[in-house]
Amino acid sequence: MSFSSDVKTELCRDGLSRRCCAVAEAYGVLLYANTFSPRQIRILTENEAFAQRLPRLFRRAFALDFDQTPPEDREGKKTFLITDRDKLRTIFSAFGYDPDRALAHHVNLAVVESDCDRAAFLRGAFLAGGSVTDPARGYHLELATGHESVCRETHALLLDMGFEPKDAVRGRSWLTYFKKSDAIEDLLTTLGASLSAMGIMEAKVEKHMANAMNRLTNCDMANADKVTDAAAQQLAAIRAIEAGPGLDALPPVLQETALLRIANPSCSLSDLAQLAFPPVSKSCMNHRLRKLMEFSRSL
Ligand SMILES: [Zn+2]
């Protein structure tokens, strides 16, 4: 199952206890559904939980049944249909629309006045026209409607609720979308999918940890490269001295340092400083190695 369908399944656990919320949720569904016209209502969904919720939702909100529901064992897309004029009239008048006139849809703010109903409206909109990307792949939540004015007004509603949505057009769909993980978490929590919101938080923490580990590994490797690079240069210098005047030509301290480096070709500067007898500071060891290099260059 996709993350989107997990979210929808979680949203459908809401108990439909208050009628005002059922009306607002049905409103969101209708404004974000495939067809909501005075002649017919057509809702298409692939989500099993939403398909089971729809008939209960419409009974709770309008006390009526769909004229056509998909067969129980239907796989894939399921269609819910209302064409009965009386039923359409009941539904239209619940939102203050004149059922005899085709009109551009607007969000009737009276239906979504209280906080519970705003959340329910957006839940319906998401169930019918929403999707959210798996947080392991990225952060994107969108609501898609076929009505431009509904997109604009939902945007305003979200702003009023403290969200900062963005708008876009894709084909014949008007989109309201979010790209910030924090905003997506907040919105899902508001809609009633707090488990899914937590899933996004967890995915974010995991990604953060993986990035930090990566940075650490890269850093270690860069350091290791630097050590071997410097050590290789020092060993080359020591070999040049051996091939020339010999290590005996070196002052005792530098001779010891040369032998230490030959015996420990991959040690870091600080490890080498600790191995000296007596141990010396890192900068002292650095100074001795530089003297060795200078000596070899002077040959
Ligand atoms: Zn309510």
**Per-residue pLDDT averaged across 206-228, rounded?**
78
> Measured in angstroms, how far is the CA atom of residue 60 from the centroid of ligand 1?
12
Q: Does position 99 have pLDDT exceeding 80, yes or no? A: no
Q: Work out the number of other CB atoms within 10 angstroms of the CB of residue 56.
A: 12
Supply the pTM of this predicted model.
0.72
Rounded CA-CA distance 289/297 in Å is 13
Question: What is the Å distance from ligand 1's center to 108 Cα?
Answer: 15
Ligand 1 centroid distance, CA of 111 (Å): 9
Q: Does residue 259 have a pLDDT over 80?
A: yes
Q: How far is the CA of 57 from the centre of ligand 1 (A)?
A: 13
The secondary element (H helix, E strand) that includes residue 74 is none
For 213-232, what is the mean pLDDT? 79
Distance 67 CA to ligand 1 centre (A): 26
What is the per-residue DSSP string for 234-270? HHHHHHHHHHTT-GGGS-HHHHHHHHHHHH-TT--HH
- Residue 216 predicted with pLDDT over 80: no
- Residue showing tokens 């899914």: 196
CA of 240 to the centre of ligand 1 (A): 86
Domain boundaries, the chain: 3-192, 207-297
Cα dist from 198 to 143, 175, 190, whole Å: 21, 25, 13
- How many angstroms is it from 17 CA to the middle of ligand 1? 9
User: Cα–Cα distance between 30 and 26 in angstroms, integer?
Assistant: 6
**Residue 224 confidence class, pLDDT cut points 50, 70, 90:** confident
- The three-state secondary structure class of 93 is helix
User: Span 252-277, mean pLDDT?
Assistant: 87
Whole-number Å distance between alpha carbons of 151 and 32: 9
User: How far, in Å, from the CA of 261 to the mean position of ligand 1?
Assistant: 77
Indicate the class that CATH gives domain 3-192.
Answer: alpha beta
Ligand 1: distance of its center to the CA of 110 in Å? Answer: 12
Sign of the CA dihedral with 99 first, then 102, 104, and 105 last:
positive
Res. 190 pLDDT band, cuts 50 70 90: very high
Taking the centre of ligand 1 as the mean of its atom positions, its distance from the CA of residue 143, in whole angstroms, is 21
Q: How many angstroms separate the alpha carbon of residue 117 from the centre of ligand 1?
A: 4
* CA of residue 157 to ligand 1 center, whole Å: 16
Going from the Cα of 118 to the center of ligand 1, the distance in angstroms, rounded, reads 8
- Dihedral sign of CA atoms 95, 97, 100, 102 in order: negative
Residue 19 CA to ligand 1 center (angstroms) comes to 7
Of 211 and 51, which is predicted with more confidence? 51
Please give the torsion angle defined by the CA atoms of residues 97, 99, 103 and 105, in that order, rounded to the nearest 10 degrees: 40
Alpha helices in 95-191, H assignment, sequence order: 115-129, 148-160, 181-191
Confidence of residue 61 (pLDDT cuts 50, 70, 90): very high
Query: For residue 134, how far is its CA from the centre of ligand 1 (angstroms)?
Result: 30
Residues at Cβ < 5 Å from ligand 1 ion: 18, 20-21, 116-117
